[in-house]
Amino acid sequence: MPNRGVQNGVEIPAAVDPLIPQLYQTSKAENYGLTQARFEEILREVAAKLLPDTSASPGNLWLSLKIEDLALARGCAAGHERAWEVFLTRYREKLYDIAGYITKESSAARDLADSTYADLYGLNVRQGQRVSKLSSYTGRGSLEGWLRTVMAQEFVNRYRRQRRLVSLEEESEEGAQFAAPTLQPVVSANPKLTAATDQALAELSPEDRFILASYYLDSRTLAEIARILHVHESTISRKVDKLTKSLRKRILVGLTRHGLSRRQAEEALEVDVRDLRVNLRASLVQETSQSTFSEKKAEASGGDP
């Protein structure tokens, strides 16, 4: 196939040339302030990013992109007014709706939406040029979905930062300074059990480990996990059940390979202090309740002259 040459690291076969004007028209990029030449640059940039194999034809990739969303996003990133008019018409309310769904609280939602909008608009300037997050959108997924992901990422990053900051005043008012420390699970003293568990987990596929982590660590529902993986809920239900049972078997097999007998392996797996039904730990920890301290505080303040 004759090539037009290599540009920006992407070979453009001659057969792909007619695609670009067609895509330019379909994308309505002209309405968003983009020339065909600029639009072509954007397409090549996306192909360079998404096609690791530069000899592959980008035509199919370009045809699979959300081309109008891409044109709109890049028009906004370039600061074209008409693009922003369309963007705000379509997505302004949605930004707040998405933020509300993520944060579950109206003032936090407004805050999140406003800061995301600022990032998208490109209030940050780097080397004299405005930097808009919309420049990183490649059109693989929908623009709306991308906005959701950006806002979710911003929310998670903020929450992660806030968790590290502790307000001492708030803690003392709530009696937190008197609370018993949260005890971390004790590392198993049985290295063979740890090794067998690691081996069993390593044999699982990434999807299986993702399902287990989502269900047992994140407490996601089966329906939520199914939506993420685009399968039916019953599929996830069967998988969780099957994985849990097979993991136990694999760990037992691993322990027997480490020289334990079957009975010893079962005991090692069953008699983990964290698996005991009797919660000795809770019984031994001194109980503290806020109401008790509140009463004492009230008594103390009432008794003072």
Contacting another protein within 236-265 (CB under 8 A):
237, 240-241, 244-245, 247-248, 251
Beta carbon nearer to another protein, 142 or 167: 142
Please choose, from the candidates 170, 173, 166, the residue with its C-alpha nearest in 3D space to the C-alpha of residue 293. 173
- Answer yes or no whether residue 145 interacts with another protein by CB under 8 A: yes
The one among 7, 54, 153, 167 contacting another protein by CB under 8 A: 153
User: What DSSP character marks residue 138?
Assistant: -
Binding window for another protein (CB under 8 A); candidates: 5-13, 122-130, 150-158, 165-173 = 150-158
CA dihedral sign, ordered 22, 25, 28, 32: positive
Q: Are 37 and 97 in contact (CB under 8 A)?
A: no
Q: Are 196 and 251 in contact (CB under 8 A)?
A: yes
Q: For the chain, what is the total number of helices (H) and then of strands (E)? A: 15, 4
Total of residues contacting another protein (CB under 8 A): 74
Task: Return the residue matching tokens 């067998």.
Answer: 196
Tokens describing residue 239: 């998988």
Helix-helix angle 233-257:262-270, to 10 degrees: 130
Binding mask 84-123 for another protein (x = CB under 8 A): -----xx---x------xx---------------------
Residue 48 in contact with residue 7, Cβ under 8 Å? no
Of 185, 259, 302, 305, the one binding another protein (CB under 8 A) is 185
Spatial CB neighbours of 160, under 8 Å, sequence gap ≥ 6: none
Of 178 and 243, which has the nearer Cβ to another protein? 243
CB-nearer residue toward another protein: 178 or 199: 199
Closest to another protein by CB, 216 vs 257, is: 216
Q: For the segment 197-236, give every residue that binds another protein (CB under 8 A).
A: 197-198, 200-201, 205-207, 209-210, 212-224, 227-228, 230-232, 234-235
Between 41 and 247, CB nearer to another protein: 247
